[in-house]
A and B are shown apart, each in its own frame.
Chain A
Amino acid sequence: MTNRFKLRLIAAAVSAMAVPMVAAGPGLAAQQLHGVFHIGAGSYIRMGTPSGGFFSNPYSKDANKTYTTFLSGGGGGIRTDVAQNAPSPAFDSHGNSLANSIITPTNFTGIRFGVITTLQPKFLLSGHRITGYLRHLYAQWNKQTFYQGSIVHGTYRRRSHHYTLTWHTEVHGGPFDGYTGYWHLQGTFSP
């Protein structure tokens, strides 16, 4: 066996092991997060209109009315190990959402909206990066339910427990057909 052949053999063996390791790297490093994403100040939703602008919510507490800010509800925020379903009834007689687990129902054009999950979400942490499988998230407003789930991305700092999550989901059908919900959550994560 020549040296050159030995070298080639070693290189082939190393790459045969390294390629799957690199491919699986993020998976190997990813750690599933269990706990509660508390929704803190600075969290918001913006409704992008089909024409490219943003829906202005006069009842928003933000100076820029295209940002509707909200805070955690009674459940403390998004819980990773349970589905935070809509209560029964889901709305009061005016159409205000009674879903107060994830966020405190928040005024949108005069009627409060809430957020629910129908299946428990899953969040994976890789380094500082979070990938969340929040595909079963819905907003409820005015006796209507809008799908707003997605795969979400964000960051997490272990030391401070501070996190951010962002995603956007287009609404299909209903009064907001063609609008896009741009979500941004930030706050602390309690493992």
Chain B
Amino acid sequence: MTPVEARAPKRWPLAVLAVIGIGLILAPVAFGMFSKAPDGASMMTSFSPFMTRHRLDGFQADMRDVGNAVAQGQQAIRHPGRARGGNRLLARVAPQFASFARQWRGVDSDMGGMLVKIKANLPNYQAMAALPSFRLFPWFFVIPGAILLVLAATGLARVAAWRALRWVAVVLGIALVLAPVGAQMFSRAPKGAQMMSTFKTIETRHHLRRIQGYFSEMAVGQGLVQLELVPALRHTDLGAAQIQARYPALHTLDASWVHILNDMTPMIAAMSNNINDYQAIASLPSFRLFPWFFLLPGVLVIVIALLGDRRRGRGAAERERPGLFNPVNQGVT
């Protein structure tokens, strides 16, 4: 083996590395990540005020307040006081309140179920939020891809330089392998995928319309309690203190209604404003695959960069010798 043979690496590994580099650069373009990833980041930011145990407990407490008021309102209508004027008023409220109570069963079941699902996904949301910002994700592919492409192109142009550059490629490969490990993607990304799967039935225009309808029904119900039921009860032989003592949930709903509105309408707004963002991020490949999008190219880069150190055969090496005609070096091929 001549000294020239010892220095000359094979060219095909460089070509493969260049292809991997191009693949990494093009992957986020092909998936539309440059537009979709910021949408995902925006969605995560919009959800953050609501995705806390305290806030979700608060929504469930709001639902309980309405539910208790419905139950006690029905009870008050069934067992009115003795004054006739009040009974007449209660009789007038009764059909509307019965209608609201029926609607409430559906609202409570659907919206309550939604809150249970969201709460169960709180750890999944937190895992997803702990990942690096979605805005950065496309660059996690493009930057290593570009570095790899430059390394491979330099190696192809100046074969002698590749002996040193391949170690940079190995380090880059190791970084690609370690990135998902460091960001705990193997545990967090599947959780994110699970959350995305749960939100598939929540973040839809159709579901939003239902929730908006529930809000409207709750508003009508609260109005019935405050503006008709409680005034009707005041016309019975019950005093204000007795009404409050006997039907505390009616008073609680009245007292907490503005808080419920303050609480729920921003949540409905967040649901509404993020439907498109959710759809964008849901159209990306499953989150479960993301760690592998780093790990597999990383392993390939390491293996190929190391293989690239294997010496070429005599014939190929001869073409690298200075002074001899080399169609590759002369730009003929």
The answer to whether A55 and B216 touch across the interface, beta carbons within 8 angstroms, is yes
Inter-chain contacts of A65 with B (CB < 8 A): 223
Contact of B273 among A58, A59, A94, A174 (CB under 8 A): A174
| Cβ-based interface call for A154 (8 A) | no
The answer to whether B227 and A59 touch across the interface, beta carbons within 8 angstroms, is yes
Give the distance in Å from the alpha carbon of A37 to the alpha carbon of B205 in the complex: 38
The answer to whether B269 and A49 touch across the interface, beta carbons within 8 angstroms, is no
The answer to whether A175 and B265 touch across the interface, beta carbons within 8 angstroms, is yes
Give the distance in Å from the alpha carbon of A173 to the alpha carbon of B277 in the complex: 13
Inter-chain contacts of A94 with B (CB < 8 A): 258, 262
| Cβ-based interface call for A76 (8 A) | no
Inter-chain contacts of B262 with A (CB < 8 A): 94-95, 142-143
With contact pairs A58-B227, A110-B258, A142-B262 given, residues A49 and B219 touching in the complex (Cβ less than 8 Å) = no
Of the four ranges (under 10, 10 to 19, 20 to 34, 35 or more), the interface on chain A belongs to 20 to 34
Give the distance in Å from the alpha carbon of A111 to the alpha carbon of B265 in the complex: 12
The answer to whether A142 and B220 touch across the interface, beta carbons within 8 angstroms, is no
| Cβ-based interface call for A166 (8 A) | no
With contact pairs A56-B216, A58-B227, A173-B273 given, residues A144 and B265 touching in the complex (Cβ less than 8 Å) = yes
The answer to whether B209 and A178 touch across the interface, beta carbons within 8 angstroms, is yes
Inter-chain contacts of A179 with B (CB < 8 A): 212
Inter-chain contacts of B209 with A (CB < 8 A): 50-51, 178
Contact of A144 among B213, B257, B269 (CB under 8 A): B269
Give the distance in Å from the alpha carbon of A81 to the alpha carbon of B218 in the complex: 41
Inter-chain contacts of B220 with A (CB < 8 A): 56, 58
With contact pairs A143-B262, A177-B272 given, residues A57 and B219 touching in the complex (Cβ less than 8 Å) = yes
A-B contact pairs, 13 of them (CB 8 A): A49-B216, A55-B216, A56-B220, A57-B219, A58-B222, A58-B226, A109-B223, A110-B257, A144-B265, A175-B266, A175-B268, A175-B272, A178-B212
Q: Which 10 A-B pairs have the closest CB atoms?
A: A58-B223, A175-B268, A109-B219, A177-B272, A175-B265, A174-B269, A175-B269, A94-B258, A173-B273, A110-B257
